[in-house]
Structure formats: structure tokens, C-alpha cells
Chains A and B, each alone.
Chain A
Amino acid sequence: MLIALVLMCLALWTSNSDFLGASNVVNTTRQVSMLGIFAIGIAFVIITGGIDLSIGSVVGLTGVIIARVSSTQTGGLGYPLWIGVTVALAAAVVVGVLQGLLITRLKLQPFIVTLGGMLLLRGVSQTIVDGGVISMGDSSLLNLASGGLLHIGRDPLIGWPLVIFGIVAALGAYVLHYTVLGRYIYAIGGNRDAARYSGINVDRVELLTYVISAGTAGIAGICYAAYIGQMSQQVGVAYELYAIAAAVLGGCSLRGGEGTIFGILIGASIMRVIDNGINMFQVQYTDPEGIRKIWRLNPNWNWIIVGAVILVAVILDQVVHMVQAARRLKEAGQPKPVAGPPSGAPPEGAKSPV
């Protein structure tokens, strides 16, 4: 996947040198960062074999809450920004806890619980903004999206979202790859029963993954609020699908037990580079009449290309798995008996001592 990502970037760069231009790089890394933050969160859930469809709505909800609580514009309550951020993050965590409890205590299916959560929270966001838009005005929150470290001209080389993403990724990698909790998460995804028989408190670990998922969605929600500035119920629609796609492209299996933070990083990058690439990709050619023209991708193909990339990726992954499995079986099994049973009926009257 890393190779695919590099190839994609190279192709885009050769077709359009603006791809590596300062403003496009800053913009694309910001997009990658914001997606990556909650893609890492959902990876925790996916690795245990669960799913969280509600995170797009959580992204929207946190943004809307910040706008409602802290905006000084119409519809906002004008409290200090830190209160809005705290309330929003708390709401995200509460959502994670509640969904996690429903899934682990009542043994409800994660798909259904988080589908319900997704729709319900979307409605809550809509109610909070009363179906309209709350502007963040010129709130200092907006600096979160536009500011950063190491400025080149107007643009920061390392935007705050990238910094946050870096922290989340480092923490995620630490927890997932270097702690007991991470080990348990993989064990549960690999074999839930064996994990339980080994004395792991499966319910508690699973609950935690849903909290992590919703929590990172909350953090991402704050970034999106800063980036978009105009909060409506539309913020974050379908983001959960982007995150799932990023996780799967990054090597997570929806069956659980597989995936790495580094993989998610690559997956999220691919998703965003595709998005960006559809706008950037161009081929210059000279038509028969000798006029130089530029061919671009039809923007209507956006979803077709995104969908196709995901399908091709998982197909390749599955084929590799099947080939490996077949090879293992061959190595494990003894050589097939030479004399198999006759495949058809033997000729009539063959020796049959009746």
C-alpha cells in the first residue's frame, strides 16, 4: 500500500507539478491529518472485530456543540472557547461509553447500535443548530486549522491538525503495539473465546475501544469545526465510511485481529490523495489540429474512482490471503493418495462377487 501511495503521488506530481506546491501540500496534509485522527480511533474498534458507524455523526456533533456553546455569532451562547471544547469532547466520550455499554452489556450488534447512534446524533446536531448554520465568526479556534509551526509565507509547514494527528498516532501506536491493552485488543479480534478463556475482561476492553473511537472522532470534530467555521448538520456526513475505508486500505480486516497504526496512516493518506488527485490529475496533449489541450478527470467520477480503489485493494488483499492459505494447506497436508476413488462408474460387470 505504501508503494501504491508513493506511485500515486509520483504520477500526480509528474502530471501536475502543482501537486507538490506549497498550498496543495498543506491542504492535503491537513485533510489527511483530520481523517487520520479518527481513522486511528475506529481502527481500535475494527481490530477487535467490531464496527463504529457513528463517528461521522460524532465529528459533526462536537463541531456543532462548540459552535453552539462558544460562538459569539447568531445562535451561539458566547461562553469561552475552552468550555465549548470541553463540553464537546465530554459529549463524544459519553457517546462512546453509552454505545460501548449497549454493545458489551446487552450484547447488541455493534453495527445496529452505532447505526442507531449515527442517525440519532445527526438529528441531535440538526436540533442544536435548529436546521441552520452557526458561524464561528473570527473565533480564535480557526487558528487551529490555519496555524501551525514553521511558516513558509502565509502557510505553516506543519499545521496544528498535523501536530494533533502526530500525537494521536504516536499514542495510538504506543497503546496498540506496546501495551497490554493493545495485546488484548488483537487477541480479542483474533479469537474472542480464547481471549475470554485466558482471563481477559473482553467486555471492558471492547467498551474502551468504543470510547477511544468516539473520543478521537471528537478531537477530529474540533479540527473540522476550526477548518470549516460554519457549522451545520452536514458536517461529517459519511466520514465514518471514509475512516473505515482508510482502515481497510491500511490493512485492517473487518473480521478483526489485523491492522497497524502505520497502515492506517497510509490508508488515510491514500483516501485523501485520491480525493485531491481527482482534481489535480491532468494530461497535456496536442489534438490533431495542433492545439495544446489539457485533459482532466471528470469530477463526476469522484465516487467511482474512490469506490474502485477500495474494491481493487481488498480484492488484491483477499487473493494474497487465499494463495497463502492454499500454500499452507499444501505444506500441512500429506501428499495426496495416488489412487483416488474412480471418478465415474467403473465398467459394467467389473468384479463384483455378489
Chain B
Amino acid sequence: MSEVPQSETPLLRMRGITKRFPGVVALQGVSLSLKAGEVLALMGENGAGKSTLMKILGGVQPPDEGEIEIDGKAVAFDGVKDSKGNGIALIHQELMLAPNLDITSNIFLGNEGVKGGLLGPLNRPKMNARATELIARVGLRLPVTIPVSRLTAGQMQMVEIAKALLTKARIIIMDEPTSSLAGAESEQLFKIIRQLKADGIGIVYISHRMQEVMDLADRITILRDGRYVGDLNRADATHDKVVAMMVGRELSNQYFPEKRERTSTEPMLEVKDLIVPGAPDRASFTARKGEILGFAGLIGAGRTELMEAIFGVTPALAGSMKLDGRDYMPHEPRQAIDAGVYLAPEDRKRHGLVLPMSVAQNTSLPNVGSYAAFGWLDRKTEQEVAENGVKRLRTKTPSIKQAVVNLSGGNQQKVVLAKWLAMAPKVLILDEPTRGIDVGAKAEIYRHMADLADQGITILMVSSDMEETIGMSDRVVVMHERRLKGVLERHELSQVAIADLMTGNPEARGSLAPKAAGESNVAAS
């Protein structure tokens, strides 16, 4: 083995990595290699399998198939500790620091290097000195005894890196490190990355931000739908080329219902200058009667937050909305529901369903009070409504008494839909309506969506699935970093047009002037 010159053996090589989850193949034979002192950008759409691949590398999950080699030697990780022992450090998108502990404690957490097990004495002065050294290496000049909760997001990121340096990590994985950083902090991070690179550390850099990737990466590996698409060297990479590789599949039309001409221009929901908590700008758009209005954007683009404001979960701070011509400003979901605005949330299991309860009980939940007399539950009506829902949506369940926890994802989603369809929706907000649902069930849900729109119901569909966005939407609103970036009319819809807007390309087609974001939306076309 030692005849092979060191420089040509990749520091890390992953080959044929396959990972299956119940009902989904998350990764299918993916390969990746990383040299010492190299920055490898890993790119792909939401759900392309980047995070799963990195979790496998970080020892969080074992692969079902495939090999991992470090310095040409095959390794298998039995847990995170094993991966760390092999010099791999994974920095999660949501930082994994204990905010109540100080910098030193966080850097050494789980790695105290103390003899005597859990009762071994901590050598605070020595640890503080070492921590000070480490954070200096990442450009932080702070007392190491202050709690992490008092640091900025950027400083926390540096602490994470310092933590990786403590364990002498040779491979550092960064998952969207700049997603929560301000501009100057990102610059600082890039400086550190270049320095780490010079020290011979290999870095896997996951990001959706094209500009960063172009600046930093030596090479780009692109994944799509859990498969390896290809590598691009920095010299060959262009914005367009990368986007094309990320989204490049042929649109398979087979399971989208044919788009009918929906001509109504009557507004159903008019949103004007809405200030959503946490958003930098006011948001304005109009959804027409009986249209499917898509909302595209990357994860964290603020789409869910906007929908939650419209549904009254986290009320908007200012602005106005009109529903069917009437003023509408919900402060609680109850008010939205009474007005006819319903939300099928992104996280079905957390927000949409009471899992231990039955299909019938979940279906009736928002409306059970209205068919009860003197508070007495009308089980008969409840069962009829549930039976109707099951029949209408063809939900596969042994009975309406079945607990929804036992249903598949697609059927759970149908229960969520049934619960709203049992009432009289004007606006139906569907946040990631087909996430985690298999292809057959998807097609059915698409058909129902089209039917509902034909009945004059307005659907706001948040989707991170490009195919779905284009296949289903009459128009698409694109968001980027919590701002409305543009509205694409039906004839303008294309993967490239959407991807351009959602990665923040300022020259993208359909983009709104940054300041006048309120005005142009309705009229655009």
C-alpha cells in the first residue's frame, strides 16, 4: 500500500453508497472523493440526498450498501464517535452547541480528555488555554469563559470549527454554513476555510449559494434525486451548467393532470405589504379564484413562515389582507378556519395530525363542534363525514377507526386533506403536499388538487419539488432569503427560470425590483 504516493491517494473516497428508508431510496450508488487540502462543494436540490450522504459520512446513519475509504483504507463507522475517531467532523446546519455552557466547555464537550471517566477532574486552566489557542486559529478573540448564547451566529460557527480542530479533524463537513451568517461573518468564514485548506484539511462544503461555491470550491460534486450526476472542476463550472445539472431531468408529465385554462382573474386572496415575523421586506401578492399558485424557493426561503402568517399561526406584524373582498387578518388559526382558509402543514406529523387518534377523529377535529348538540359528540355524523372523506380521496385504511399513525404517508396526507374538504375551503394552503409520499399517491393528490381548483378553490402550494411546482402551478411566486423575488406567469415557467430566481440571481427573469416588491406582482405578465 505504501508504494502509492501520498498525494494521489484521496483523503476520502465513498463508493456506491446506497441508503433506503421505508418507501424511499434516499441514495443510490453515490460516489464521492476528496483530496487533502481540497474544498469540495456538494450541490443538489432539496431532497437530492446531500444531507443523507453527509450523515453517513458523519456516522449518524449507516449506509445500506457501499464503501468508505480513508487514506485508501476501508472503514466502517459504528456511530458518530467512530467517525470522529477517523478524523471526520460534521458541522450541522443547526449548530450543535449547548448555549448555556461557555466556549471552552463546548469545544471540549464529549472530548474532555480526562482520565478517570465521568468522575475525572476537569483541568479548567489547561482547557481554557487550549480553547483560547483554538479559537484564535479561527480568528476569534473572546474570553473563552463566556456562554455560547452570547455569541453571534458567525462566532458560534467558529466555535464549531474550533471544536473540529480540537479533535484533529482532517475532514470537515459544513452543511449550509452561511445560511445564518451576515455578510462580514461569511467573509471571515471563507478566510478560515482557505486557511484550513492550506493546513491540508479536506472540506466538504454544502451550499445552495452559487456565488460562494464558485469562490471557494476546487471541485463541485452534483447529486440529483439521490444519484450522482457528475463532477465539475472550478475552471469548467458556470452558474448555468451547475443549475442544469442540478435540475436537468426531463419533465415527466405522466402524473400531472393536464393543465386546464383557468381564466378567472377575480382575486381571492390579496396580500398587501404583509410583514411576516423575521422577514426583511414586506410581502405582497394576489391569488386568484380557482388558481394553483405555487411558491418555490430553497428551504429556509421563508415560504412556510409566510403561509403560517396567512393562517394565523404566527400572526403578521403589519400589512393587510383581503379574502374574497373582505378584510382578513387572523391572529389564531381558528379565525382563519372560520374565514375559510385552511392549511395542510409541511410537517404533517407535528402540525397536521393527532397520530394516536383515528381517521374519523382526525377528520372531524376542526369541525366537530359544529355538528355537536350541547357539546354531545354526534358520532354518527362524524363517521359519515369520515367515510365520505375516505371514499372521496380513496384513502387506503382498513377502517375509519384506524389510528392514523398506522397509515402510510400518502394516506395520512389524504386524511389531512379530507379534514379540510369536509368543510368549505376558499383558500387551501398546501405546504409540501407530497413530501414523503410515493409516486402513485402523488398522482392522486395532484388530481384532487386540480379538481379543487376547478371548483373555484384557491390553492397556495409551497413545494420544493421543481417538477411538481411546474407541473401543477398556474403561476409561481419565487422566494429567496425570506423575500418575494419574483412571480412567473404560466408561459414563463421553466426550471431554469425558477432556479435562477431562487438562488438569488439578480438578472433572473420575472424578478421584482427589490424595493417595489409590493407593486408589480398582480399585473406582471
Task: Please indicate the chain A residues that have their CB under 8 angstroms from the CB of B482 in the complex.
Answer: none
A323-354 residues with Cβ-Cβ distance < 8 A to B are: 328, 332-334, 337, 339-346, 348-350, 352, 354
Given A183-B361, A190-B357, are A341 and B65 neighbors across the interface (CB < 8 Å)? Answer: yes
User: Is B69 located at the chain interface by the 8 A CB criterion?
Assistant: yes
Task: Please indicate the chain A residues that have their CB under 8 angstroms from the CB of B375 in the complex.
Answer: 179-181
A-B contact pairs, 20 of them (CB 8 A): A181-B375, A183-B364, A190-B354, A190-B355, A191-B350, A191-B353, A194-B354, A196-B313, A196-B333, A198-B333, A199-B333, A199-B337, A200-B366, A201-B334, A333-B22, A337-B65, A342-B74, A342-B76, A344-B76, A348-B1
Docked complex Cα distance between A349 and B74 (Å): 10
B233-272 residues with Cβ-Cβ distance < 8 A to A are: none
User: Is A197 located at the chain interface by the 8 A CB criterion?
Assistant: yes
Q: Is the CB of A328 within 8 A of B406?
A: yes
Docked complex Cα distance between A292 and B372 (Å): 66
Tell me how far the C-beta of B324 lies from the nearest C-beta in chain A, rounded to whole angstroms. 19
User: Is B215 located at the chain interface by the 8 A CB criterion?
Assistant: no
Task: Please indicate the chain A residues that have their CB under 8 angstroms from the CB of B227 in the complex.
Answer: none
B341-392 residues with Cβ-Cβ distance < 8 A to A are: 343, 345, 350-357, 361, 364-366, 368-369, 372, 375-377
Docked complex Cα distance between A183 and B345 (Å): 21
Task: Please indicate the chain B residues that have their CB under 8 angstroms from the CB of A186 in the complex.
Answer: 354, 357, 361
Task: Please indicate the chain B residues that have their CB under 8 angstroms from the CB of A179 in the complex.
Answer: 372, 375-377
User: Is A187 located at the chain interface by the 8 A CB criterion?
Assistant: yes
User: Is B75 located at the chain interface by the 8 A CB criterion?
Assistant: yes
Docked complex Cα distance between A1 and B9 (Å): 65
B residues within 8 Å of A by Cβ?
Answer: 1, 4, 8-9, 20, 22-23, 62-67, 69, 72-76, 78, 311, 313, 332-334, 336-338, 343, 345, 350-357, 361, 364-366, 368-369, 372, 375-377, 405-406, 419
Tell me how far the C-beta of A189 lies from the nearest C-beta in chain B, rounded to whole angstroms. 9
User: Is A193 located at the chain interface by the 8 A CB criterion?
Assistant: yes
User: Is A295 located at the chain interface by the 8 A CB criterion?
Assistant: no
Docked complex Cα distance between A196 and B335 (Å): 11
Closest-by-CB residue of B relative to A347 is B74
The contact string, 1 if C-beta is below 8 Å from chain B, for chain A 189-232, is: 01101111111110000000000000000000000000000000
Docked complex Cα distance between A37 and B64 (Å): 55
Told that A183-B365, A200-B334 touch, could you supply 14 new A-B pairs with CB distance under 8 A? A179-B372, A180-B377, A193-B351, A197-B311, A197-B352, A201-B332, A257-B354, A328-B405, A332-B22, A340-B64, A343-B76, A346-B74, A348-B1, A354-B8
Partner of A341, one of B66, B343, B350, B357: B66
A287-336 residues with Cβ-Cβ distance < 8 A to B are: 328, 332-334
Which secondary structure dominates where chain A touches chain B?
loop
Partner of A350, one of B66, B74, B405: B74
Docked complex Cα distance between A281 and B338 (Å): 60
A83-140 residues with Cβ-Cβ distance < 8 A to B are: none
What are the nearest 6 A-B pairs in CB distance? Answer: A190-B354, A199-B337, A199-B334, A198-B366, A179-B375, A191-B354
User: Is A240 located at the chain interface by the 8 A CB criterion?
Assistant: no
Closest-by-CB residue of B relative to A325 is B405
Closest-by-CB residue of A relative to B337 is A199
Docked complex Cα distance between A256 and B406 (Å): 19
Q: Is the CB of B74 within 8 A of A345?
A: yes
Q: Is the CB of A341 within 8 A of B62?
A: yes
Q: Is the CB of B9 within 8 A of A197?
A: no
Task: Please indicate the chain B residues that have their CB under 8 angstroms from the CB of A198 in the complex.
Answer: 333, 337, 365-366, 419
Task: Please indicate the chain A residues that have their CB under 8 angstroms from the CB of B357 in the complex.
Answer: 186-187, 190
Q: Is the CB of A341 within 8 A of B333?
A: no
Docked complex Cα distance between A200 and B334 (Å): 7
Q: Is the CB of B354 within 8 A of A187?
A: yes
Docked complex Cα distance between A238 and B266 (Å): 65
Best-buried of A178, A349, A350 by chain B (most CB within 10 Å): A178
Docked complex Cα distance between A332 and B355 (Å): 15
Docked complex Cα distance between A195 and B333 (Å): 10
User: Is A258 located at the chain interface by the 8 A CB criterion?
Assistant: yes
Closest-by-CB residue of A relative to B311 is A197
Given A179-B376, A348-B1, A354-B9, are A197 and B76 neighbors across the interface (CB < 8 Å)? Answer: no
Closest-by-CB residue of A relative to B356 is A190
A-B contact number at CB 8 A:
115
Best-buried of A187, A201, A346 by chain B (most CB within 10 Å): A187
Docked complex Cα distance between A343 and B67 (Å): 11
Docked complex Cα distance between A258 and B20 (Å): 33
The contact string, 1 if C-beta is below 8 Å from chain B, for chain A 46-87, is: 000000000000000000000000000000000000000000
Docked complex Cα distance between A342 and B356 (Å): 38
Task: Please indicate the chain A residues that have their CB under 8 angstroms from the CB of B311 in the complex.
Answer: 197
Tell me how far the C-beta of B32 lies from the nearest C-beta in chain A, rounded to whole angstroms. 16
Tell me how far the C-beta of B283 lies from the nearest C-beta in chain A, rounded to whole angstroms. 21
Given A181-B375, A196-B313, are A341 and B76 neighbors across the interface (CB < 8 Å)? Answer: yes
Q: Is the CB of B69 within 8 A of A187?
A: no
Tell me how far the C-beta of B378 lies from the nearest C-beta in chain A, rounded to whole angstroms. 9
Closest-by-CB residue of A relative to B366 is A198
Docked complex Cα distance between A20 and B376 (Å): 39
Q: Is the CB of B4 within 8 A of A354?
A: yes
Task: Please indicate the chain A residues that have their CB under 8 angstroms from the CB of B354 in the complex.
Answer: 186-187, 190-191, 194-195, 257
Q: Is the CB of A193 within 8 A of B332?
A: no
A169-193 residues with Cβ-Cβ distance < 8 A to B are: 178-183, 186-187, 190-191, 193
Task: Please indicate the chain B residues that have their CB under 8 angstroms from the CB of A348 in the complex.
Answer: 1
Tell me how far the C-beta of A340 lies from the nearest C-beta in chain B, rounded to whole angstroms. 7
Partner of A191, one of B9, B355, B406: B355
Q: Is the CB of A200 within 8 A of B365?
A: yes
Docked complex Cα distance between A201 and B372 (Å): 17
Partner of B76, one of A181, A194, A345, A350: A345
Docked complex Cα distance between A193 and B63 (Å): 33
Closest-by-CB residue of B relative to A190 is B354
Tell me how far the C-beta of A191 lies from the nearest C-beta in chain B, rounded to whole angstroms. 4
Task: Please indicate the chain A residues that have their CB under 8 angstroms from the CB of B350 in the complex.
Answer: 191, 193-194
Q: Is the CB of B76 within 8 A of A337?
A: no
Task: Please indicate the chain A residues that have their CB under 8 angstroms from the CB of B361 in the complex.
Answer: 183, 186-187
Docked complex Cα distance between A352 and B333 (Å): 59
Task: Please indicate the chain B residues that have their CB under 8 angstroms from the CB of A342 in the complex.
Answer: 67, 74, 76
Best-buried of A180, A186, A257, A349 by chain B (most CB within 10 Å): A180
Given A197-B313, A341-B76, A350-B74, are A180 and B368 neighbors across the interface (CB < 8 Å)? Answer: yes
Closest-by-CB residue of A relative to B361 is A183
Docked complex Cα distance between A172 and B251 (Å): 57
Tell me how far the C-beta of B406 lies from the nearest C-beta in chain A, rounded to whole angstroms. 7
Best-buried of A194, A195, A342 by chain B (most CB within 10 Å): A194
Given A186-B357, A348-B1, are A194 and B74 neighbors across the interface (CB < 8 Å)? Answer: no
Tell me how far the C-beta of A154 lies from the nearest C-beta in chain B, rounded to whole angstroms. 42
Task: Please indicate the chain B residues that have their CB under 8 angstroms from the CB of A201 in the complex.
Answer: 332, 334
Docked complex Cα distance between A194 and B416 (Å): 10
Task: Please indicate the chain B residues that have their CB under 8 angstroms from the CB of A328 in the complex.
Answer: 405-406
Task: Please indicate the chain B residues that have their CB under 8 angstroms from the CB of A341 in the complex.
Answer: 62-67, 76
Tell me how far the C-beta of B412 lies from the nearest C-beta in chain A, rounded to whole angstroms. 11
Given A332-B22, A334-B22, are A180 and B369 neighbors across the interface (CB < 8 Å)? Answer: yes
Task: Please indicate the chain A residues that have their CB under 8 angstroms from the CB of B334 in the complex.
Answer: 199-201
Closest-by-CB residue of B relative to A196 is B333
